[in-house]
Structure 1
Amino acid sequence: MPDGDLFAGVRAGMADVVTGTIARFTPNGVEMQDGTHVPADMIVLATGFNLCVFGDIAFSIDGKPLDMGDTVTWRGMMFTGVPNLVWVFGYFRASWTLRSDMISEFTCRLLQHMDEKGVDRVEVVLPPDLVDSPRGLWVDPEDFNPGYLARGQHLLPKTAPGPEWRHTQDYWREKDEIPRVDLDGPAFRYARCRLPMTT
């Protein structure tokens, strides 16, 4: 907001926020579905938007379509059953790039680890005790709940119990945890799948 005009008006008690469904426009404002009349000098219409998850890419594995909504996230960057994919997704409540940098560094470390092991495939797997556990939403509505995200939750990976099986908004925790992730821990499954060279 230029010069913070809107915020100054709110602080001065000159503006109100009304949430609800508009029933009709009136000569002096809008009438809400509950019958409340909201006077307005100006009305701005906004339709919102729908999430374009993963760029609307039609992922498939071995020819079978992949629904990301059926996967479980590992720390908001890798997904069960999806090999060789790391998704860069930042923070809603802190700088997006703080997390982007951490994920980039993690990815470089993972690729180097794969080279050292002589493998070219990695995916994350749920431990046996979580395979049948309840699934949660990508982002807890108590933490972040704009309409566009609420409408698109079914398209996003799910969560499972435990901090490593969810996407957190806690930079102060992740800045210590992500650099120390054990790349040979039980969450990771590696394989070699290169075809032999032929002439």
Structure 2
Amino acid sequence: MTTEADATDSRRVDVLIIGAGLSGVGAAWHLQRQPGRTYAVLEARDRPGGTWDLFRHPGVRSDSDIFTLGYAFQPWRGPKSLADGESIRRYIEDTARDHGIDRHIHYRSKVLSADWSWERCRWTVKTEGGTWTCSFLYVCAGYYDDDRGHQPEFEGVEDFGGRFVHPQFWPDDLDVAGEKVVMIGSGATAVTLVPALARRARHVTMLQRSPTYLISLPDVDPAAETLRRLLPAPLAHRLVRAKNVLSSGLAYWLSRRYPEQTRRHLRRGILRYLPDPAYLDRHFTPRYQPWDQRLCVVPDGDLFREVAAGRVSMVTDRIARLAEHGIELESGRTLEADVVVSATGLSLIPLGGIAVSVGGRAVDLAETTAYRGLMLSGVPNLAFCIGYTNASWTLRAELSSRYVVRLLRHMERHGLTTAMPALPRDVARRPLLGLTSAYVQRAAHLFPQQGDRAPWTVGQNYLTDRLRSAFLDVRKGVIFDG
């Protein structure tokens, strides 16, 4: 008979990774390259994929090219550079299986809390399915709240006679064939959904309060296709990845250095599809500068093509209320709708919503400061993984995992049991995530802050961060104990 103590002992590992998405599977790959260290991956869902298993709405895809969103060690073999969500999920699943990581993943293991014991120098991690202990905790749960999206309270929503849905919880039985659809929102989700729905719906209206910067990029990368025909897959993957890192980094730098020229360049790109300057002024000209918020990618101009064909209408206005047959706008206009899709944004939550405590005392994450963007001041033996806001998530995730492995190797080599960042008193604090997007600003007060100087800042330049990571001193700013 297995006692509770026996069960706890069987769930004792050196490193516990939270999440089996892109970050968690990548972290496991880096970790298991160092033999002799036990680990487990806890995943709240019933299969790997993380974000790419959560979002299942029509047309779901990545805004980042898959060669940089994917792993450096696992070549992408699919045809598209802007891959769809299910293909990305299968890529993560295949990676876990190919490298034996799947044997370490425990599904339906949603983590509720984690408490650090100074006496035992271990974390006690409680999940919905039991309790684990570990010497080091690595949270790779991203920052999306899986349980809720952002949903404003629209007056009259109970009066609407059609279907009202949020993309994060897309109903399996929803078929928009022959229906009038109104999409509320102008972000990446709306830009993804509208062309997909327009292929079946009677008509789709994209209703936005204000425009978002959009850029058309090829769905298939011609240079990648050429290199993959001529070279072995691993080499081609590395070359395409390097090309895309350089080109996206340069594009971001130019956008911030020359914002007005970038605005004109983006405008010219849309004019190729919609040659009406007044229409662009109304519906495709944001008030903010490029990369104050993330740019939304339109593969092969699909959204613009649907607008030009008359299957999609753009409306820039504010909602007064929902009525039985549609949406009444502040301008007095009414949009008829059988289906209203509220692509009104995501909710963010730090560390996957885990309640963290040290020595039994709850940690207020908003009062902590991020060390190198991956550990927390005053919290021992814990790392968390967040990606770039201006580039592919995985680029930064891989740097974070390399750092964690390097830190663990240093601790093992010197017989150390704890590593805790110690924040100097004179470090000024500022928001962790540097975007002005509404979904980021709504949750900013929940997240750790970052400092005003290294090693307390969160870099947003992959090439610089990659170079620095080769020479950084893991001892700087950290208190160790043996």
User: What residue in structure 2 maps to residue 197 of structure 1?
Assistant: none
Equivalent-residue separation in structure 1 for 2:309 and 2:457 (angstroms) = 40
Residue identity opposite 1:179 in structure 2: A
| Gapped regions of structure 1 (runs ≥ 5) | 193-199
Equivalent-residue separation in structure 2 for 1:166 and 1:63 (angstroms) = 28
User: What residue in structure 2 maps to residue 107 of structure 1?
Assistant: 404
Q: 1:163 to 1:183 in 2, by over 3 A?
A: closer
TM superposition score normalised by structure 1: 0.77
Q: Is 2:458 the partner of 1:167?
A: yes
User: What residue in structure 2 maps to residue 53 of structure 1?
Assistant: 350
User: What residue in structure 1 maps to residue 101 of structure 2?
Assistant: none
User: What residue in structure 2 maps to residue 90 of structure 1?
Assistant: 387
Residue identity opposite 2:345 in structure 1: G
Higher strand share: 2
Alignment deviations for residues 110-165 of structure 1 (CA, whole Å, 9 cap, x no partner)? 101011221110011123432xx3x211122xxx2332221111111012211432
User: What residue in structure 1 maps to residue 431 of structure 2?
Assistant: 137
TM superposition score normalised by structure 2: 0.34
Equivalent-residue separation in structure 2 for 1:85 and 1:51 (angstroms) = 20
CA contact (8 A) 1:106 1:179 kept: no
Higher relative contact order (Cα pairs below 8 Å, separated by 6+ residues): 1
Paired residues for 1:14-163 under 5 Å: 15-16=313-314, 18=316, 20=318, 22-25=319-322, 30-32=328-330, 36-37=331-332, 40=335, 42=337, 43-130=340-427, 133=428, 135-140=429-434, 144-163=435-454
Identity %: 33
Equivalent-residue separation in structure 1 for 2:480 and 2:454 (angstroms) = 22
Equivalent-residue separation in structure 1 for 2:333 and 2:454 (angstroms) = 44
CA contact (8 A) 1:29 1:37 kept: no
Equivalent-residue separation in structure 2 for 1:30 and 1:8 (angstroms) = 27
What is the deviation of 1:38?
Answer: 5.5
Secondary structure class of the residue paired with 1:100: helix
Secondary structure class of the residue paired with 1:169: coil
CA contact (8 A) 2:328 2:334 kept: yes
* CA RMSD, 1 decimal: 2.7
Equivalent-residue separation in structure 2 for 1:106 and 1:124 (angstroms) = 14
User: What residue in structure 2 maps to residue 179 of structure 1?
Assistant: 470
What is the deviation of 1:23?
Answer: 1.5
Residue identity opposite 1:68 in structure 2: L
Equivalent-residue separation in structure 2 for 1:173 and 1:72 (angstroms) = 22
CA contact (8 A) 2:377 2:420 kept: yes
